[in-house]
Amino acid sequence: MSTPQTQLPLDALPTRSAPALDLLTGVKVLDLTTSVAGPYAGQLLADMGATVVKVEKPKGGDDARAWGPPFLHGESLWFMSVNRGKQSVTLDFSVPEGREVLHRLVASCDVILLNLVGRAQKKLGVDADTLRALNPKLIHLSLSGFGIKGDRADLPCYDLIAEGYSGVMDLTGELESPAQKVGTPAADLLAGHDAAMAVIAALYRRQRDGVGCEIDVSMVESMSRFMAPRLMPYLGSGELSRRSGGRDSVIAIYQVFETADDPMTLGLGNDAIWRRFWDTVGRPDMAEKPEYGSNALRRASRAELVEVIAGVLREKPRQAWLDMFAKARVPAGPIQRLDEVAADKALQAAGFIYRTDGPDGPIPHVGLGIRFDGRTEGTEMPPPKLGAHTDAILVDWLGCQPADIEQLRAQRVI
């Protein structure tokens, strides 16, 4: 008797096949990055229509290919989350023969993405001066922990390290608990987003002025810029914010509350919302009290207000409150687990969470979430198998003959 197959969450996702976006059609990108931040930048560019070729070391490829379990179809799901839409070429450019091939690829591309520190770039011959001498219109992007220059430029960095430097870990969680990192690789994703945005800006300038660009993105600076709404008040007032869990330190009522069953979020960000909230819960008298007439006054009385609101919200189940608040336009919501996010009908209907058919079976996708003329990204290409497109790229981009490719393979360059 055969063992029944376990149903995966992706089996419940809607299938989707859409035309790929064409905003960056014709733009050729070499993605030499590994892990999360750089590959995410490449995926964003691929989502918007660029041709992205992922250059990987022949043995093992991108470090993230080994990050698991969990795996799907033998591939790391972490790797798959930031590498769709790309082609994979294996190439050892640490040796002269491989470096010569890479330089030829650079001569015919528009953008190169690297997450090597400056010292390593120079050693491997992939620094901006070297590559822009081969292709003056090249957009050369470095994404590193601390930037290409400065006292910390050579230090290794991961998302965890960047989050610690930025201050976000000191502001995440409860004050009496240890500092916590954000529940997703926030510094990686923010820096990757910055990298993609910077590339698009540089492409626009190149179209206008005909010049290339050297771009330097720092994970620590991207993550620290994310902290501007917290850092600016300190810089301007000297008031030091510390972590306060789900409570905001500026808006008086902006936190998690318990209900009769499940917790919910509630944000009363202005006077009109304040009044609508109390009307909705049947306590209009609270909205009329002058001692609570502004956010500053409410902040001064936060503890007592939180106690009153908490008592009110415990009287009904969460969904009853959410229905009432939605009708009254009071900002509120559930605290969803990942399985609930995956099953969110609105996100599925928007084409944001879906599945497509891959060569080894269905593949889940977390989409771009941006629409252009009503369209979001298509998924013609699943995350690539290691080196699956090596021969095709060498032929199409460089005009290599079969004998040339076999020689490179015999030299273990590809």
Q: Which positions are catalytic? A: 188
CA torsion sign, 145 to 150 to 152 to 153? positive
Eight-class DSSP state of 351: T
Give 75's strand partners: 72
Residue 58: exposed, middle, or buried by beta-carbon count in 10 A (0-12, 13-18, 19+)?
middle
**Are the C-beta atoms of residues 31 and 55 closer than 8 Å to each other?**
yes
DSSP 29-73: EEE---TTHHHHHHHHHHHTT-EEEEEE-TTT-SGGGG--S-EET
User: Backbone phi, then psi, for 242, in 5-degree steps?
Assistant: -125, 170
Contact 308, 291 (CB under 8 A): no
Contact 337, 284 (CB under 8 A): no
How far separated are the first and last CA of the chain, in Å rounded?
A: 44
Sequence-distant (≥ 6) Cβ neighbours of residue 230 within 8 angstroms: 167, 171, 241
Q: What is the DSSP string of 118-146?
A: HHHHHHHT-SHHHHHHH-TT-EEEEEESS
Kind plus residue range of the DSSP H or E element containing 113:
strand 111-114
Structure tokens at 186: 């926030």
